[in-house]
Every structure is written in C-alpha cells, then in structure tokens.
Amino acid sequence: MEKNTENKSMSEALADRLFYRKKTAFEVMSDKELSAAMEYARGYAEYLFNSKTEREAVKTSVEMLKKQGFIQYRLGDSIERGGRYYLNNRDKSLFAFRIGTEDINNGMRICAAHIDSPRLDLKQNPLYEDSGFAYLKTHYYGGLRKYQWPTLPLALHGTVTLSGGKNVDVCIGEDIGDPVLMISDLLPHLSGEQGKKPLDHAYDGEALNAVACASPYRENGAAADTSDAVKLNLMKLLNEKYGIKEADFMTAELCLVPAGRPVDIGLDRWLMGGYGHDDKVCAYPALTALCDSTDSRHTVMCVLADKEETGSDGVTGMQCSLFSELIDEIAESLGGSGRVCRSRSSCLSTDVSAAYDPGFSDCFEKRNTAFAGSGVVINKYNGARGKSSTSDASSEYLGKLRDIFDADGVLWQTAEPGKVDCGGSGTVARFIANHNIDTVDIGVPVISMHAPFEAISKVDLYFAYRAFLAFYR
Ligand code: MN
Ligand code: MN
C-alpha cells in the first residue's frame, strides 16, 4: 500500500505545533550554557558544605551579601531607594532585600527558600554511658526515614549558650582528620527478627543514639576507678575544646548531620550528591539571583526561612508575623502602604520537588512528575488528599511566570509531589499566600529527598538560578 507521506508529515507538523513534549536540558542547552551551569554548581557545592544548619546558612549567606554591599537592617531603621539590606532574624532566618526605583505600592518580587534540613537534634539531656561507650541521645528533626541514619559518619554541629550568655559554636567532623560520631546497626547475621519488621518500625526513634566516646578517663596511668568514666572522658574532651559542662547541653542547639562534602555523581559529573539540597539548592540560586539582578527596577527580597521541615512555626519560621511586618515597614518608610504593597507583590516559594525515580516508578505518575535534568519545576499546588493545605496558584499567575521564563529561555516543567493519594507534601507557599501575596512553588527536582545523601542535577540548579533571576528582573 502506498504511504501518504504528505499527510503524515502534515500530522507530524500539527503534532509538533499542538502537543507538549517535555525536553531535557541536554537537548536545549549550548556548550557554553553547559559550562556556565557546571561552573555555577561549584559555587553551590561550597555553599552547601558550609551551610548544613540554618545558623551556618545564615552566616554563609550574610558573608555573601556583605561582599555585594548589603548592610544590616533592624526593624525601625531608615530605608533608602537603591539601598541593599539584610535583616538577620536571631541568626536562624534571613531577609535580604534591595529597594528598587519603582513605586513600592506596585509590590515586591519575593523568593522564599528554607535553610533547615532534616537531621538528628541532640536531646536537652543527651549524654549517658553504657557498656564502655558514651552516647548522645537524639530526637529527629523533620521527616526522615530512620533506617537511613545508622552506620553513617555523622558530624556534630550547633551552638551552646553558656551561663552568662556567651555563645559557643560547635563543629566536629568536617575538617580533614576530624573524628565523627556514629549510630550503630545490627549485623545481617543477627538481624533475622529485625528484618521481619516493617521498615518504618524496624528502627525506633529512641534507638538513634550516637557513639561519641569509647574509652574511660585516665588518671595516674590507669583507667579512673569511678562510675561513668567514659562519660567523664567525653565531657573532659568537650570541656577542653569548647569550655562546656554537661548542664550546658540543656541550653544548647546541637545536631548530628552527615559528615563530609558534596560530591559529583556519575562519570559525567552532572548529578551532585550531598546533605541538605532540600532546600539549599533553592536558597543558593534565590540569593545569588537577588545579588545579580541589579538592573531590576522592582524592590526584591530573598527570604531564607527556618523551621520549614517542622511546619514553619515559631519566631524563625515562615508563619512568624515578622515577614509581613517587614514588608509593611519597608513600604511605609518609602511612603507607600504595606497592605497595598503586599496585595501587588508576587512570590516564588522556592523549594524542591520529588524527582521521578525509575526504581520506584509505582509512586510517581509519570506525566505529572518532575524529571531531574528537565529544568526548574513548578508545582501549582502541593498538599495531600484532595489538595488540602495548599495555596494553589492561579492560572493568571502561572501565565505571567510562563511568559517571563519563556522570554529568558528558562527550561521549566510542572509536577505534583507524587501519585494522587500516595502521600503529599507542604511548603512555605501557603503561609506567604495567606498574606495576600500571589505565590507558587518552584524549585529543583531532588532524588532521594530527605535522605542523608540527596541528589540533584546541576542543570536544574542552573535553570532555577536563571528562573529566579528573570523573576526578580
Ligand atoms: Mn523543602
Ligand atoms: Mn523538606
């Protein structure tokens, strides 16, 4: 039978014109863009390594901002047009903003990321000795899969406020030659019973105790003949290094995080593995895009929030009134109205999305899932069970963003967290939208999200930066 090649090419042309086909970054990026993306990821890897906790992220980010001429702002300070400011909220969340030339009542452009990541916090009374070991007890922070944390090199990070108010920063396990801590696991030879338990129950929260010392305090050339000599030895070492006593744990914020630097994954080096991509992989582009969008006439803000992983509550979480109060202050000191400014502001809630994982295809709906390597991902809504607890961005707002991104050659895709009723997730988006600010979730797809070692594609990181930059402009 003769083939109607004419018709076929017409239908192909029509399909090209009418169908949506998801592209990968490697199909659309030039060699020049690819090297720019690889270079950009190097800066991010440094940021990620130096920002494992929210406090460290604030410190690292303030250093970056200062280099770009941003100065510290406190509520009540005066604000000038063209000025660059940052508000450091209790060393745990950060608001960086640059005042634009246009009327503040036209609104602000805001990117909001979070800088806390799932981890193991130390309890307030963490230290005990058992069978020749000194242990630190933990209470996990955020949603994590407990079985993933034993038998990993863990670093101790945090801050201890001594009596009298002096703060001591602790970091053990990150420098070359540093010791690390470890939570043990059962050997396979004895794990018959444990192995029969469902995964979520096989590891008890109260069993996530980390070994921190394995030898007793010594005096007169011998092990001290006292109870808790191993615990004493650990306290002596901590006291020598940081000047802390056991009672100081009660006023401390210490946590265990995976030790070590981010690394490239795959021989082509396009994936990056590391701890805390969620959500530093959006915080870094949100911050660098703010610094690089100096040609914008808008007033722009980058929010780096704490406590997202535990529900955004508290004075450093996104639900704190400080966010809207700050916008009101800025607007009013420029002669505008906070209420009007907020109503005309728009926000990108820059947070990560679950990347499709062929190893777990059952949990994803392929047509509506983010693919690592296919660009920055927009989640119109999050939530769970019939979209509950989501702000659900409007068609008009998405349309506006689509035009901004397309005009700048940003590769973007859309997704939802996973299959309907398979689970769900939330971000800071709804807390911002509740202030009458158009908000949508957008960010980088992450493989093995919330694991001690997560992976992202560097091309998606790069398009996140490009998207946020276009948005600020
Ligand atoms: Mn997140
Ligand atoms: Mn998260």
pLDDT of 327 higher than 70:
yes
Q: Note whether 359 and 442 are same-domain residues.
A: yes
Q: How confident is the model at residue 423 (pLDDT cuts 50, 70, 90)?
A: confident
Ligand nearest to the CA of 279: 1
Same domain, 246 and 289: no
Residue 3 confidence (pLDDT):
52
pLDDT, average across residues 99-122: 98
Residues in the chain: 473
Q: How far apart are CA 116 and CA 114, in angstroms?
A: 6
Q: What is the pLDDT of residue 8?
A: 78
Residue 40 Cα to ligand 1 midpoint, Å, equals: 21
Three-state SS for 229?
A: helix
0.75 surpassed by pTM: yes
472 Cα: distance to centroid of ligand 1 (angstroms):
21
Q: Are 297 and 432 part of one and the same domain?
A: yes
Q: Kindly give the distance from the C-alpha atom of residue 42 to the centroid of ligand 2, in angstroms, as a whole number.
A: 23
Residues 106, 23: one domain?
Answer: yes
Where residue 231 sits, what CATH number does that domain have? 2.30.250.10
Stretch 378-401: mean pLDDT: 94
pLDDT of residue 301: 98
Q: Does one domain contain both 417 and 445?
A: yes
Question: How much distance in Å is there from the Cα of 309 to the middle of ligand 1?
Answer: 7
Report CA(227)–ligand 2 centroid distance (Å).
Answer: 42
Give the Cα separation of 157 and 153 in Å (integer): 13
Cα distance between residue 34 and residue 25, in whole Å: 9
Token code pair at residue 308: 């997202």
pLDDT at residue 2 greater than cutoff 60: no
Tell me, what's the pLDDT at 7? 66
Enclosing domain of residue 226: 119-258
**Are 116 and 58 within 8 A, CB to CB?**
no
Summarize the confidence of residues 422-441 as an average pLDDT: 95
Q: How confident is the model at residue 424 (pLDDT cuts 50, 70, 90)?
A: confident
Q: Do residues 368 and 418 both lie within one domain?
A: yes
Cα 118 to ligand 2 centre (Å):
7
Q: How confident is the model at residue 220 (pLDDT cuts 50, 70, 90)?
A: very high
| Residues 217-226, mean pLDDT to the nearest whole number | 95
φ/ψ of 320, rounded to 5, equals -65, 145
Give the pLDDT mean for 40-60: 98
- For residue 444, report the distance from its CA to the centre of ligand 1, in Å: 10
Distance 282 CA to ligand 1 centre (A): 9
Q: Is residue 1 part of a domain?
A: no
Claim to verify: residue 137 and residue 106 sit in the same structural domain:
no
CB 223 within 8 A of CB 229: yes
Q: Is the separation of the CB atoms in 438 and 394 below 8 Å? A: yes
Residue 9 belongs to some domain of the structure: no
Same domain for 110 and 123?
Answer: no
> Do 464 and 302 meet the contact criterion of CB atoms below 8 Å apart?
no
Shared domain for 153 and 94, answered yes or no, is: no
Domain end, chosen from 258, 293, 323, is at 258
- Domain-terminating residue out of 208, 224, 258: 258
**pLDDT of 417:** 84
How much is the mean pLDDT over the chain? 96
Tracing tokens 């945090």 back to the chain, one arrives at 158
CA of 439 to the centre of ligand 1 (A): 15
Give yes or no: residues 441 and 292 share one domain. Answer: yes
Domain annotation covers residue 2 = no
- What mean pLDDT is predicted for residues 343-354? 98
**One domain, residues 246 and 294:** no
d(CA 465, CA 442): 11
Taking residues 47-58, what's their average pLDDT?
98
pLDDT tier at 4 (50, 70, 90 boundaries)? low
pLDDT of 6 higher than 60: no
Q: Is residue 8 part of a domain?
A: no
What is the per-residue pLDDT for 338?
A: 98
Q: How far is the CA of 425 from the centre of ligand 2 (A)?
A: 8
CA 181 to chain CA centroid, Å, is 23
The gap between the terminal CA atoms of the chain, to the nearest Å, is 57
In-domain check, residue 375: yes
| Ligand 1 centroid to residue 120 C-alpha, Å | 17
In a domain, 264, yes or no: no
> Is the residue at 267 inside a domain?
no
Give strand ranges (E) for 69-180: 71-72, 84-89, 93-98, 108-114, 119-130, 133-141, 154-161, 167-172
Which residue in this structure is represented by tokens 């509506």?
Answer: 368
Ligand 1 centroid–CA 449 distance in Å is 9
Asked if 121 and 141 count as a contact pair (C-beta separation under 8 A), the reply is: yes
pLDDT-above-70 percentage for the chain: 99
Q: How many CB atoms lie within 10 A of CB 169?
A: 12
Average pLDDT over residues 22-39: 98
Same domain, 127 and 244: yes
Residues lying with their CB under 5 A of ligand 1, a single-atom ion: 278-279, 351
Domains held by the chain: number: 2
CA of 306 to the centre of ligand 2 (A): 11
Of 184, 126, 186, 122, residue with least CA distance to 150 = 184
For the cut 80, the answer to whether the pLDDT of residue 418 exceeds it is yes
Instruction: Calculate how far, in angstroms, residue 376's C-alpha sits from the geometric centre of ligand 1.
Output: 14
- List C-alpha distances in Å: 53 to 58, 256, 296, 455: 9, 10, 31, 18
CATH number of the domain where residue 336 is located: 3.40.630.10
Cα of 354 to ligand 2 centre, how many Å?
A: 10
5 in a structural domain: no
Helix (H) or strand (E) holding 275: none
